[in-house]
Amino acid sequence: MSSVADYARPNPVKENRSGLIGKGVDRYEGPLKVTGTAPYAYEVATPSPPAYGVMAPAPIARGRIAGVDTKAAEASPGVYAVWTYRNVPEQAPRGTRVHPRSTAPARPALEDDRVRFFGQPVAFVLADTLENAQAAANLVRLEFEAEAPEADFRRALDESAQPPGEEDVEIGDVEKAFASAPVTLDETWSTPVQNHCQMEPCASVAWWEGDRCVVHTSVQMVKPAQHGLAETLKIDRDAVHLMTRYIGGGFGGKGQTYDDLTLAALGARFLERPVKVAYSRQQMMHGTIHRPATVQRVRLGATKDGRLTAMSLMTVTHCQREGHFTEHSSNFARSLYAAPNRLTGHRLVHLDLPGAGPMRAPGEASGMLSLECAMDELAEKLGLDPIELRIRNEPAADPETGKPFSLRQLVRCMKEGAQLFGWERRIPFPGRVRDGRWLVGTGMSTAIRGNFLLPAKASFSVDRDGVITVRQGMTDIGTGSYTVLAQIAAETLGVPLKDVRVEIGDSELPPAPGSGGQFGAATAGSAALVAGMNLRSAIAELAANDPASPLHGGPAERVTFLDGVIAIGNRSESLASLIARAAPEGLAVEGEHRPAADARNWSQHTYGAHFCEVGVDPVTGETRVRRMLGVFAAGRIINHKTARSQLTGGMIWGVASALTEGNAVDPRYGSFVNQDLGSYLVPVQADIGELDAIMLEEEDDKANPLGIKGVGELGIAGAGAAVANAIYNACGVRVRDYPITPDKLLAGLIEGS
């Protein structure tokens, strides 16, 4: 087992001889994306003309299917088959895990007569065209015995209980410290259900080659999708060849698979031809997971000079009746501020709603919307600048575990951000700045999100043209995985970027965990570095042992790699000439990276500070984000352009959380009211003013051999709170029920006037 100490050693990525690391190089797959030639799962060319599958959703949230009439659907033009639970081909029962190392269990479709959530696929039609399949799906007649759903989160709050296996974390005595604190705050915030709304809905196309299922789908993690499908179909894991080459957004919603995958595979086997199945935009809202709503109570106690003596964040949230997920909105608070007395925990209520699950920065994205506004309110009570309040409560070590921080530059993020944003010009009293009809205000928030590393493998090869190919079962969900892997490979082998190929998103490739929890680049990249170093050694040995090479005789460990040339001192030749002569079939090696055994001895996070300026129209209650700046500390940055895109994308999502986004629940039906992007409001260009993300120069030598951290989730953490705090500074209204829509703001403005 390696030690974190090994991470501090020099390597080609850190040395960055050709200067590729950190550069904002263009997307590896960019030309394919902008010319519409990067095939998403549903668009993959099939070996023969495909049939089309369409799922029919349940119109109730809870109950059972009591009657099935598929005659009209079966008689409809072009229809090959109509399946319900009564005649779907055999699958393994839910949860089956025959292979002990399967990373996901069976997930059968149309498994029984139970309806567990509104929109659950309950029938499936296979037809010659998408239109015929859709038309026939509308003709499936099912009778339901409905039970009254419990889907009202507010009414069910009292039934909430500790999530299984969890305990509150209490340090010191919060009640006592809160009761005796000279300045206190006790307020409750709420956040709504949110849907991922990936631009690409979930989709699969499958065909069979003998006993082998070939499937292209849209998922964040290759192995669990492959294993889960194999378990469901009761076939060998190797009998599933799963590919996910281009993915139009995941955000946590594609961390698992859905019925499109299972039904495409079953349909293709049944028809003996390729089958395509996709969720419609409307079906995505119910048929896949969502971020659950939360109610968060924050209590803060402080001395008059702004030292926190008590800090508590308790979250109540919900998940599906048979589900297990908890939105851990309180967890981030455990590492953010020093306070000797602290209490954090969660309560969970089970509802008859679709499955709750992870969504970009699960926990932080919702949780920071409360505590970071509470800090703003406390700063006002204390007459302190919000940044100064935070600096006074900056911990020297992790405030709960006492572990040292691997690297924490939160204060620097706040200070540099303040300077760039012009924070010192801010008037701390609300409602004092006008610009025409707009009341103008500014606000800030911190950002924190954990940093993670998982084991991964990769393979590297070089061919006779000196072209390096990286192969890894990694995914690119739009984040830039292709590009950063190409940069790491080019820098490690000292070749130009144009001489690197990247193959990812395939279950045949050396396994990597995929994209999630902002661990992707660090996890995949660390394995790529190891594999790349192994290839360097193999090439150096080859040259040292080849009598025709100027490098003959070595020493192999002194071979340098730069600009496609390998050299020892002034003896050199091109990489291509060596391979063409000494290994014309090319060389291929594997590498694996596993997290250091002592990695958990450090408290490790990514940090940032958000600054926002809004205008509030006091007549209409409309809020406009005029400018927004984020300053982030997330280790070494591999690609400035893709990292910045991740961060600004997260910030924009934070604007959505603050102002527009949320799904309404209809408790009568256990359904979500908003089922398309016309009514589920995410920001458009016009909603975003000036926007920038700055990354501090840093390298976390406790994180991984590259010194990098994740940025995919950091940008959204806290962003919405900065907007909310700016709204208060603009107009003096605190809305603690997100999103802060004009009606809520107007109510506050009228009340206050």
Query: What residues are labeled active site?
Result: 713
The angle that helices 259-271 and 222-233 make with each other, rounded to 10 degrees, is: 50
Distance between CA atoms of 584 and 566, rounded to whole angstroms?
A: 17
Does the footprint of ligand MOS cover residue 333 (CB under 6 A)? no
Stretch that binds ligand MOS, among 101-109, 275-283, 353-361, 438-446 (CB under 6 A): 353-361
Relative to beta strand 341-351, strand 308-320 is parallel
Stretch that binds ligand MOS, among 71-79, 185-193, 241-249, 358-366 (CB under 6 A): 358-366
Does the footprint of ligand MOS cover residue 479 (CB under 6 A)? no
534, 462 contact by CB (below 8 A) = no
Q: Which is nearer to ligand MOS, 249 or 608 (CB)?
A: 249
Task: Name the minimum Å distance from CB 291 to ligand MOS.
Answer: 9
Q: Which is nearer to ligand MOS, 309 or 704 (CB)?
A: 704
Task: Name the minimum Å distance from CB 253 to ligand MOS.
Answer: 8
389, 306 contact by CB (below 8 A) = yes
- Applying CB under 6 A, among 345, 355, 362, 720 the residue interacting with ligand MOS is 362
Task: Name the minimum Å distance from CB 251 to ligand MOS.
Answer: 6
Give which of 394, 296, 293 is closest to 343, Cα–Cα.
296
Q: Which is nearer to ligand MOS, 358 or 564 (CB)?
A: 358
Q: Residue 456, exposed/middle/buried by CB under 10 A (0-12, 13-18, 19+)?
A: buried
For residue 511, say if its preceding peptide bond is cis, omega within 30 degrees of 0.
Answer: no
**φ, ψ (nearest 5 deg) of residue 533:** -65, -35
In this structure, what token pair is assigned to residue 587?
A: 């060389």
Does the footprint of ligand MOS cover residue 360 (CB under 6 A)? yes
Q: Which is nearer to ligand MOS, 220 or 317 (CB)?
A: 220
Q: What is the CA radius of gyration of the chain?
A: 27
H or E, element range at 443: strand 438-450
Task: Name the minimum Å distance from CB 361 to ligand MOS.
Answer: 7
Distance between CA atoms of 593 and 706, rounded to whole angstroms?
A: 12
Q: Which is nearer to ligand MOS, 252 or 510 (CB)?
A: 252
Give which of 726, 725, 724, 722 is closest to 739, Cα–Cα.
724
Q: Which is nearer to ligand MOS, 318 or 449 (CB)?
A: 449
**CA angle 188–190–193, rounded 5-degree value:** 165
Q: Which is nearer to ligand MOS, 220 or 675 (CB)?
A: 220
Does the footprint of ligand MOS cover residue 329 (CB under 6 A)? no
Task: Name the minimum Å distance from CB 516 to ligand MOS.
Answer: 3
Within 8 A by CB and 6+ apart from 225, the residues are 104, 217, 219, 242, 244, 257, 261, 507
Task: Name the minimum Å distance from CB 427 to ligand MOS.
Answer: 38
Task: Name the minimum Å distance from CB 608 to ligand MOS.
Answer: 18
Task: Name the minimum Å distance from CB 118 to ligand MOS.
Answer: 23
Q: Which is nearer to ligand MOS, 386 or 517 (CB)?
A: 517
Distance between CA atoms of 423 and 430, rounded to whole angstroms?
A: 15
Distance between CA atoms of 438 and 432, rounded to whole angstroms?
A: 11
Q: Which is nearer to ligand MOS, 220 or 262 (CB)?
A: 220
Q: Where are the alpha helices (DSSP H) in 143-194?
A: 153-156, 174-180
Stretch that binds ligand MOS, among 357-365, 373-381, 466-474, 553-561 (CB under 6 A): 357-365
Q: Which is nearer to ligand MOS, 149 or 608 (CB)?
A: 608
117, 259 contact by CB (below 8 A) = no
Q: Which amino acid is at 282?
A: Q
For residue 149, say if its preceding peptide bond is cis, omega within 30 degrees of 0.
Answer: no
202, 258 contact by CB (below 8 A) = yes
Q: Which is nearer to ligand MOS, 290 or 318 (CB)?
A: 290
- Applying CB under 6 A, among 359, 462, 589, 652 the residue interacting with ligand MOS is 359
Distance between CA atoms of 455 and 510, rounded to whole angstroms?
A: 11
Stretch that binds ligand MOS, among 38-46, 356-364, 442-450, 541-549 (CB under 6 A): 356-364
In this structure, what token pair is assigned to residue 451?
A: 């940093």
**φ, ψ (nearest 5 deg) of residue 416:** -65, -40
Task: Name the minimum Å distance from CB 457 to ligand MOS.
Answer: 20
CB atoms within 10 A of CB 743: 10
Q: Which is nearer to ligand MOS, 53 or 249 (CB)?
A: 249
CB atoms within 10 A of CB 271: 17
Task: Name the minimum Å distance from CB 247 to ligand MOS.
Answer: 11
Give which of 337, 347, 125, 97 is closest to 230, Cα–Cα.
97
Q: Which single residue brings its beta carbon nearest to ligand MOS? A: 252
H or E, element range at 461: strand 456-462
Q: In the stretch 217-256, what mask flags binding to ligand MOS with x, by CB under 6 A?
A: ---x-----------------------------x-x--x-
How many residues lie near ligand MOS (CB under 6 A)? 10
Angstrom CA distances, 304 to 183, 301, 377, 383, 389, stand at 7, 10, 14, 9, 11
Q: Please, which of residues 253-272 interact with ligand MOS by CB under 6 A?
A: 255
**CA angle 56–59–61, rounded 5-degree value:** 120
Task: Name the minimum Å distance from CB 434 to ligand MOS.
Answer: 40
Q: Where are the alpha helices (DSSP H) in 238-339?
A: 259-271, 281-287
**φ, ψ (nearest 5 deg) of residue 204:** -145, 145
- Applying CB under 6 A, among 345, 354, 355, 358 the residue interacting with ligand MOS is 358
Task: Name the minimum Å distance from CB 219 to ligand MOS.
Answer: 11
Task: Name the minimum Å distance from CB 157 to ligand MOS.
Answer: 25
Cα 674 → chain centroid: 22
Relative to beta strand 605-616, strand 623-633 is antiparallel
Distance between CA atoms of 149 and 139, rounded to whole angstroms?
A: 26
Q: What's the distance, Cα to Cα, between the start and end of the chain in Å?
A: 65
**φ, ψ (nearest 5 deg) of residue 635:** 75, -170
Does the footprint of ligand MOS cover residue 194 (CB under 6 A)? no
Query: Would you say how long the chain is, in residues?
Result: 753
Q: Which is nearer to ligand MOS, 466 or 505 (CB)?
A: 505
Q: Please, which of residues 510-539 interact with ligand MOS by CB under 6 A?
A: 516-517
Q: Which amino acid is at 261?
A: L
Give which of 606, 519, 27, 49 is closest to 272, Cα–Cα.
49
Residues at the site binding ligand MOS, with contacts judged by CB under 6 A = 220, 250, 252, 255, 358-360, 362, 516-517
